[in-house]
Copies of this chain bind each other. A is one copy, B any other.
């Protein structure tokens, strides 16, 4: 039962008693309880055991007092269901043994059936939302470009040369892949909502590598398709990417509720460019290593800008990282709530 619905209200641009806060990658990483678990279990083990996954997902709600939980899982999680052979290599990241090179590789991909393919994910959501959480649970998925970048490069990349070359060289293959991934994202997100998620965030983490023209031609149609389909789910839809300030006007055309910004663009600047959606962001996560006075002053600045209009969710501009002291996140959450409730 959701008792604290600040996140949902802010996402719909309704009034709130305090600015809602959550942190990308808040579950896992910097939490000592999580590290103790990781000494015994792998990421695979944790995501496959609903009790464990729910415990890790709920930790930051209990420890930091954040206004939303986000499922502990990886953007790669659904890919094996459509036939992508992913393994997570320590120190490297996701490695894919059967990269996409041609149309037949895309045609060979299957369809996802979340209920039978990922029952443990849905069971985790049910456990959390039916029994444990009093805040909204955010379901999520990677977006087609970001997922495709791993599927084409065969692993993490800095430059996405192969991905972009395939996009320009084999548009038929590209759009077939986008379509296949869109179907997966839609089915996967729908199942998460059906299981109890009350908001959805789509991570197009690496799409900022494209310029606006390529975004418009190769990405915007598939994102429009995804968000249009997901609007029927009647939950807030959040879009996020890193280093994507130059795409803000394109994102503004998408049927989303909330635009996630990183720290490279000020909230004032984004709104001056015509952004009328609710905004989520955008503290530079490196600031979590700075002294409290610096962190507080930058946080105030962001809150002062964000709160000029209804519809603001406080978050980082990218994820929490392992070096962050959990006490800092706790103190920051309290500060945002206190500062914003006085305004």
Contact = CB atoms under 8 A, between A and B. Distances in A.
Contacts of A290: 164-165, 168-169
Interface stretch (A77-85, A100-108, A155-163): A155-163
A319 to B, nearest CB: 9
A300 interface: no
Contact of A289 (B165, B210, B284): B165
A168 B264 contact: no
Contacts of A211: 263-266, 284
Nearest to A323: B161
A287 B165 CA distance: 6
A285 interface: yes
Interface centre among A168, A212, A289 (most CB of B within 10 A): A168
Contacts of A287: 164-165, 168
A164 B164 CA distance: 31
Contact of A286 (B164, B213, B265, B323): B164
Contact of A285 (B159, B162, B169, B245): B159
Interface string A165-193: 10011000000000000000000000000
Contact of A321 (B161, B169, B285, B289): B161
A65 interface: no
A73 interface: no
Q: On chain A, which size bracket covers the interface?
A: 20 to 34
Interface in A281-296: 284-287, 289-291, 294
A1 B323 CA distance: 54
A322 to B, nearest CB: 10
A294 B169 CA distance: 8
A246 interface: yes
Number of this chain's copies in the complex: 2
Contacts of A243: 208, 243
A160 B321 CA distance: 12
Contacts of A58: none
Interface in A304-333: 318, 321, 323
Given A159-B321, A211-B266, A264-B211, A165 B286 contact: yes
A245 to B, nearest CB: 5
A243 B265 CA distance: 13
A291 B170 CA distance: 10
Given A168-B294, A211-B265, A291-B169, A286 B246 contact: no
Contacts of A161: 285-286, 289, 321, 323
A290 B290 CA distance: 44
A169 B265 CA distance: 22
Contacts of A159: 285-286, 318, 321
A213 B287 CA distance: 14
Q: Which 10 A-B pairs have the closest CB atoms?
A: A165-B289, A164-B286, A168-B290, A161-B286, A168-B294, A211-B264, A246-B264, A245-B246, A169-B290, A211-B263
Given A169-B294, A245-B246, 19 more contacts: A159-B285, A159-B321, A160-B286, A161-B323, A162-B289, A163-B286, A164-B286, A164-B289, A165-B290, A168-B286, A168-B287, A168-B290, A169-B289, A211-B263, A211-B264, A211-B265, A212-B266, A243-B243, A246-B246
